[in-house]
Structure 1
Amino acid sequence: MDAICNATRLARSIMSRQVKKGDTVIDATCGTGQDTLFLARLVGQDGRVLAFDIQEKAIKDTTELLYSQGCLDQVALFRDNHINLQSYIKNGVSAGMFNLGYMPGGDHSIITNPFDTVLAVNRLLEVLQPGGILTVVSYPGHPGGEEESAALQASLKDLPQQRFEVLFTRFINQVNHPPQFFYINKLINYQEVY
């Protein structure tokens, strides 16, 4: 197994083992397009990535990156808040990624926020197919980031264990408020747990 040196790499490592050619997946925060490109390569020409961002720059940068890498055809980009993602999904999705905070190289005053993030994650869980996964990387080091991580953790803690497996992890020996990682698996078959 490759060394896991940060939360984003951990998310991608898990996604690469789950997402298959032909899948439909979500990048809820496309930003510079790195995760969108990663997912586009995983789903291949027969798959679909639905990517969201509220910033025009994010959509433009992601479009240019995908075009330069020959992966634009399997991606639909939406300049919209990820709380609206259900409006774009017809038959469920097999996986989703959130990379919270602000867009690298962008306006740091434009950030994801606790209310929208919790709502979007819960909406994505509703359309996630059984056996599907969701990864979230959160950044407690920027203004508002700690509150967002805490709100997400509180919300995910209440998911029924009969339907979901939820993992929360962070690198405890890293300085400067390292990113935190959430993993949610929607169980295929579940039994009542007493």
Structure 2
Amino acid sequence: MGFISVLGMARRLVKERVSPGDAVVDATCGNGVDTQFLAELVGPRGAVYAFDIQEAALERTRSRIEAAIGGTYGAGAPDAGGLHEADIRPLRLVHASHADMDKHVAEAHRGSVAAVMFNLGYLPGADQAVITEPASTLAALEAALRLLRPGGILTAVLYPGHPGGLEEAEAVAAWASSLPQPLGQAMLYRLIQKAEAPYLAAVEKKA
């Protein structure tokens, strides 16, 4: 039968903690898979922020959401936000580093975000030299913790198998393991017999 996949585990942890109307963040939207998942969880009363430094990722995410809901994206600019005649209205695509996410999240949602999802590495089908990096990722994780509400969840899928991925994965794992327990509880989910297999780091914020 096998174990649940790393991506499946990340989604399970998020789904258990997110309700309709919540605010959520996709820190690395890529092809938009996690953005769509989050948008479906929070529904039309929720808020979804999706970040990426690559314009191609924002375009792919926009196309995926439009195809899923049959809507037309609003004002055209990636940072403008809004879906017309759609079930998922409060989607905001932001062309910015995930390290700066707290600068783009509305004041009303700071400290009340239910989930932040990271899927690190590179954009499939794009330039594999453009990857997430330890310094900006660690800054983004700290920003995510500030945005989360108590009981909120942070998930980060790590890819040690590509150039630069091992260093980033180890930095994230070290960051998670060093978190003070009163602030949050951290876990790793991985296949320990496959050193290069993707794995999950997750943090549930306590306070």
Relative to the length of structure 1, the TM-score reads 0.91
Which of 171, 185, 190 does residue 204 from structure 2 map onto? 185
Question: Do the aligned residues in 2 keep the contact of 1:6 with 1:179 (CA within 8 Å)?
Answer: no
Mapped to 2, the partners of 1:111 and 1:72 lie a distance apart of 29
Number of matched pairs: 186
Report sequence identity in percent. Answer: 40
**2:28 aligns to what?**
29
Secondary structure of the residue aligned to 2:127 is: coil
Question: Do the aligned residues in 2 keep the contact of 1:50 with 1:77 (CA within 8 Å)?
Answer: yes
Matched, 1:87 2:87: no
Moved over 3 A (4+): 2-5
**1:77 aligns to what?**
93
Deviation at 1:72, TM superposition (A): 5.3
Matched, 1:55 2:54: yes
Q: Which runs of 5+ in 1 are unaligned?
A: 189-194
Which of 144, 155, 180 does residue 124 from structure 1 map onto? 144
Relative to the length of structure 2, the TM-score reads 0.85
**2:131 aligns to what?**
111
CA deviation profile, 1:97-120 (whole Å, cap 9, x unmatched) = 000001112211110000010110
Question: Do the aligned residues in 1 keep the contact of 2:44 with 2:88 (CA within 8 Å)?
Answer: no
Deviation at 1:187, TM superposition (A): 1.2
Question: Do the aligned residues in 2 keep the contact of 1:51 with 1:76 (CA within 8 Å)?
Answer: yes
Secondary structure of the residue aligned to 1:18 is: coil
CA deviation profile, 1:122-179 (whole Å, cap 9, x unmatched) = 11101211111100000000000000011111222221101210001211244x7111
**1:134 aligns to what?**
154
Deviation at 1:3, TM superposition (A): 6.5
Matched, 1:44 2:26: no
Question: Do the aligned residues in 2 keep the contact of 1:114 with 1:148 (CA within 8 Å)?
Answer: yes
The answer to which of 126-135 and 72-81 deviates more is 72-81
Deviation at 1:12, TM superposition (A): 0.8
Mapped to 2, the partners of 1:131 and 1:112 lie a distance apart of 27
Q: 1:156 to 1:112 in 2, by over 3 A?
A: same
Q: 1:75 to 1:3 in 2, by over 3 A?
A: farther
Q: 1:3 to 1:34 in 2, by over 3 A?
A: farther
Question: Do the aligned residues in 2 keep the contact of 1:4 with 1:10 (CA within 8 Å)?
Answer: no
Mapped to 1, the partners of 2:104 and 2:171 lie a distance apart of 25
Mapped to 2, the partners of 1:160 and 1:62 lie a distance apart of 35
Mapped to 2, the partners of 1:159 and 1:135 lie a distance apart of 14
Question: Do the aligned residues in 2 keep the contact of 1:55 with 1:79 (CA within 8 Å)?
Answer: yes
Secondary structure of the residue aligned to 1:122 is: helix
Mapped to 2, the partners of 1:109 and 1:102 lie a distance apart of 8
Matched, 1:165 2:197: no
CA deviation profile, 1:21-68 (whole Å, cap 9, x unmatched) = 000000000000000000000000110110000001000010011011
**1:191 aligns to what?**
none
Mapped to 2, the partners of 1:107 and 1:99 lie a distance apart of 16
Question: Do the aligned residues in 2 keep the contact of 1:49 with 1:75 (CA within 8 Å)?
Answer: yes
